Amino acid sequence: MRAPLIPLALGLGALCCAPKVTDWGTFDVLRQSAPRPRAQLGDRPIDAATYRSARRLGERWFRESTFGNERTITDVLGLFGGSVEVPCGAGEGRACRCSEPVLPLFAKAVDALDGAPGNLFTGNGGGYTSDLVLVFPPGATRHGVPVPERLHTGLDVEAGSPWPIGIVPIAAPPAEAALPYLIEPAALGVGPAPAGKVRLGLTCATCHFSLDIDWDGKADLRSAWSDQPTPGSPYRPEHAWAVGNQDLRLGWVIALSENPLAVFSVFSGVIGGTEAKHARAFARRVKASYRNAPDLVLAEVVRGMAVQPRGFADDTPDGLFNAMQIPSLYTRRNFPYNYDGNFVNAEDRNNGVWSIALDPTALVSLTRDRAGAASELLPGQKGIYNEFSAAELAELMVFRSPAARHDPAMRARLRDDILGLTDGVPGLLEPASVLLVPGLPHAVPSSIRDHPQNVAARRDRSAASFGGDARLRPAVLGYSGTRVRTPPAVRADREVSTWIRRYGVNADELLSESVSLMLDSLDPPPNRSPLLAGARSLVARGYEIFRQSGCAGCHQGPFFTDNLVHPLKKIRTQPARAEFGKLLQRFLAPSYDARTGKATAGGPFDFTGARRVGYKTVTLRYVWGSAPYLHDGGVGVAPRPGSPPAASLKQLLSRDPAENVYGTGPILAERELHPEGAFRANAAQSLQALVLEAERERVIRGNREAVLPVPGTAWRLRGSDFAIEGIGHEYFVADVPGGDDVTALVAFLLSLDDAPGEP
């Protein structure tokens, strides 16, 4: 007789406990400045000098913190360690193929940036780029998949640097000097280099830094280090931080690794498949073939990586294509985090990147005998990891790894290390930099938690031990059951240890809090577009239209967000990402106060009404530089290549539709045909399509055109095959392209930089 009380309680919670939002009153974004960031680490106020030092620490560690993922990136994945098949030359027969390693080609591409070969590790002559181009021999293939002769990677390289931003060399111990798969800079044939060998690790900056601030295809900065400004540039080094790399071709970068199978479930997928059953069938094919018939499955996996769109990252590890435009990270008063809002706490967000995205071996936590066991009880919820036990997935990851191919005995050692059997820490991050936390149910078995090394190091922590509202967010402290902590070397630093004593900050969280402080400090770069300069007189009128049209109802205040997750059924944008995380959103992600970002309730019996399956209201700061739009990047329009430039904003928006390319899919297809150019979605035209219904319909039709090439085949894919549609968010203004109202509104949106009311 009590069962009906549960749905009744849900209904009452939704009605009575709707989340409250910040009341910004009459705040005028054109006349008032956005509040500055608070000088604090976590919740502890700090002095100005400490704030500046913590910001520098955050800058350095956002760019350089690997927490030991170089073991995954080098020993298991083998970044840039793959080879391409190339024709053997005249007289050898058409079928003859030779192997050419990728790493020397990568080194030569960086070395060539200044036009003077042979000085890569002695300063590189100051060469730099926002789009590193690798040059391959004609006819090169990777596991049978054609490789572009000039592969635009989108990787950024600073002046004088031998490595792209976000790719970090870590010196290998002298005892490992004999390992042939480690990188020896002196042997790369690009001039004198330091002695010894290195591993390569990845950091957040790979995806979230760019030297091209205004997206015209040219680097605006020589360096993104805060103490190295570029003379004559209208931008500061900090403007390169957190903008989201719209050029990055992450799929091909991973495909060129020695062991792309290690990350098949994240960076590849089923071409043409859109349902979980297709992904599970893909997983079964990989599982059945990777030992005995690897060529066939490697071709499928590499082809799936090669079709991933530029400027997009598929971070849903489900074996399906669910492209997400790489987002900008202007986080001040802009919480919860991620498009679906599952991370209420900034440090939880940081940890999700460090412990899973940058160490994908941690995905063993999702298998059917770990966290995936819960989905076995829920009809229709089985995913790709239900096809594997933890041991089976770990074995697949390491089977073709560089370390195991050098020494087959390493397969079992790496597998057991990934499982946590060796040191009690699942995954391959440095154990001294990792804690165990509740995470998803059964993500870490009790037998692993009770490992003697965990007991000795007091590594297993409860949610409550983190203080504050952490007790209400146990599942998201670390999905995989692990949480990165401040490494011992950082804690021992004299300045950092002084902060710990003086302010009583949580030593384990201090490094992550410094990164969050750095991100919160950032203001978006100024818009220097001549079109905006000529339309400045329209900005005030555009702000009026923005408010009159109801846009400010969700995009409120100086940060243009109400910090709410809006139900999918209300906003009706592309559903795949929300559907992927709906169990977490409904049952495990905490409810929160939209005014503070603090968790207010948690657990499966939270009936406060604050949980919603949908998408978080994103900030509009830097909207001028983040086209195409919506979380799927689906709303994109651009002038057709070769068309004359517009003399004014109104003229640009009034163009005949036949003179435009509509849809992100066709725009990406054009980029594939002409990668040397700077063809991208145009911010002004794309914003107009966001708010004009007729223009949006053209965009949606464009995304349903089969125009995206699949390398080595005659197939063509649609943008919608990647979950790039541009649907939903149906909040339109009544006007025509280039009309007075929409032109003014677009002018206002283009002005949303660090000071929208100023020229």
Measure the CA–CA gap between 315 and 427, rounded to whole angstroms. 18
Q: What is the pLDDT of residues 104-123, one digit of tens each?
A: 999 999 999 999 999 999 99
314 in a structural domain: no
**In this predicted structure, what is the pLDDT of residue 608?**
56
Cα(130)–Cα(175) distance, rounded to whole angstroms?
37
Q: Which two tokens mark 714?
A: 């005659």
Using CB atoms within 10 A of its CB, is residue 137 exposed (0-12), middle (13-18) or buried (19+)?
middle
Provide the pLDDT for residue 158.
98
Which of 334, 734, 345 lies closest to 545 in space, CA to CA? 734
Domain assignment present for residue 471? The answer is no
Give the 3-state secondary structure of residue 321.
Answer: coil
Evaluate whether 256 touches 80 at the Cβ level (below 8 Å): yes
Confidence of residue 6 (pLDDT cuts 50, 70, 90): very low
End residue of a domain, out of 256, 282, 307: 256
* 498 has pLDDT over 70: yes
Mean pLDDT of 438-467: 95
Per-residue pLDDT at 7: 30
Q: Enumerate the H helices of 116-219 as residue ranges.
A: 205-208
Measured between alpha carbons, how far is residue 398 from residues 261, 509, 584 in Å?
Answer: 9, 31, 29
Q: What is the pLDDT of residue 2?
A: 32
pLDDT reading at 598 higher than 50: yes
Average pLDDT over residues 686-695: 98
Q: How many CB atoms lie within 10 A of CB 28?
A: 12
Dihedral angle sign, alpha carbons of residues 597, 347, 310, 626: positive
The residues, any chain, with a CB within 8 Å of residue 266's CB and separated by 6 or more, are 314, 315, 317, 360, 363
Confidence band for 5, pLDDT divided at 50, 70 and 90: very low
Closest CA relative to residue 722, chosen from 327, 384, 318, 309: 309
Whether residue 467 lies inside any domain: the answer is no
Which band of pLDDT confidence, cut at 50, 70 and 90, is reported for residue 92? very low
The total number of structural domains in the chain stands at 2
Residue ranges of E strands in 314-408: 324-325
Does residue 164 surpass a pLDDT of 60? yes
What radius of gyration do the chain's Cα atoms show? 25
Q: Which among 256, 276, 294 is the end of a domain?
A: 256
How big is the chain, counted in residues?
759
Q: How many Å apart are CA 411 and CA 400, to the nearest integer?
A: 9
Quote the tokens at residue 179. 């390992």
pTM above 0.85? yes
Looking at beta carbons, which pairs linking 148-153 to residues 24 or more positions away fall under 8 Å? 148/675, 150/675, 150/676, 151/249, 151/252, 152/247, 152/249, 152/310, 152/675, 152/676, 153/248, 153/249, 153/252, 153/253
Closest Cα partner for 649 from 624, 679, 672?
Answer: 624
Look at 23-27, 376-380, 577-581, 629-633 and tell me which has the smallest mean pLDDT. 376-380
Average of pLDDT values for 539-547? Answer: 98
Among 9-13, 49-53, 222-226, 656-660, which stretch is predicted with the lowest mean pLDDT?
9-13
Residue 693, both tokens = 């219904």
Report whether pLDDT(178) > 50: yes
Residue 272 scores a pLDDT above 90: no
pLDDT of the residue at 589: 83
pLDDT at 378 over 70: no
Q: Does 191 reside within a domain?
A: yes
pLDDT band at residue 11 using 50, 70 and 90 as cut-offs: very low
Question: What is the reported pLDDT for 10?
Answer: 30
b/e map of 204-239 (b: 16 or more CB within 10 Å)?
Answer: bbbbbbbbbbbbeeebbbbbbbbeeebeeeebbbbb
Residue 728 CA, distance from chain mean position: 23
The three-class DSSP label of residue 628 is coil
Asked whether residue 209 carries a pLDDT value surpassing 90, the answer given is yes
Segments forming the whole domain that contains residue 673: 530-534+619-750
Residue type at 358? L
Over residues 82-105, the mean pLDDT reads 82
Count of C-beta atoms within a 10 Å radius of residue 191:
18
Report phi then psi at 685, rounded to 5.
-65, -35
pLDDT band, residue 398 (cuts 50/70/90): very high
Residue at 11 is within a domain: no
Mean pLDDT score of the chain: 92
484 has which bridge partners? Answer: 434
pLDDT-based confidence at 13, cuts 50/70/90?
very low
Query: What pLDDT is recorded for position 375?
Result: 67
**Residue 420 exposed, middle or buried by CB count within 10 Å (0-12, 13-18, 19+):** buried
Those residues with Cβ within 8 angstroms of residue 687's Cβ, 6 or more apart along the chain or in another chain = 623, 627, 629, 745, 746, 749, 750
C-alpha 420: how far from chain center:
26
Q: Look at residue 128 and tell me whether its pLDDT is greater than 60.
A: yes
Amino acid (1-letter code) at residue 330: Y
Angle at 666 between CA 662 and CA 668, to 5 degrees: 120
| Residue 438: inside a domain | no
Of the three residues 198, 223, 256, the one that is the final residue of a domain is: 256
What mean pLDDT comes out for the span 556-567?
Answer: 95
Give the rounded percent of residues in the chain with a pLDDT score beyond 90: 83
Looking at 149-158, 362-371, 606-615, 618-627, which range is the least confident one?
606-615
- What pLDDT is attached to residue 90? 52
Mean pLDDT, residues 378-391 = 81
The pLDDT tens digits for 345-361 are: 999 999 999 999 999 99
Tens of pLDDT along 362-372? 999 999 999 98
Give the number of other CB atoms < 10 A from CB of residue 292.
7
Q: Which residues contact 627 (CB under 8 A, 6 or more apart)?
A: 215, 636, 680, 681, 682, 683, 686, 687
Q: 312-313 and 324-325 as β-strands: parallel, antiparallel, unpaired?
A: antiparallel
The answer as to whether 320 is a domain residue is no
Residue 563, pLDDT > 60, answer yes
pLDDT in tens, 634-657: 999 999 998 999 999 999 999 999
Domain assignment present for residue 576? The answer is: no
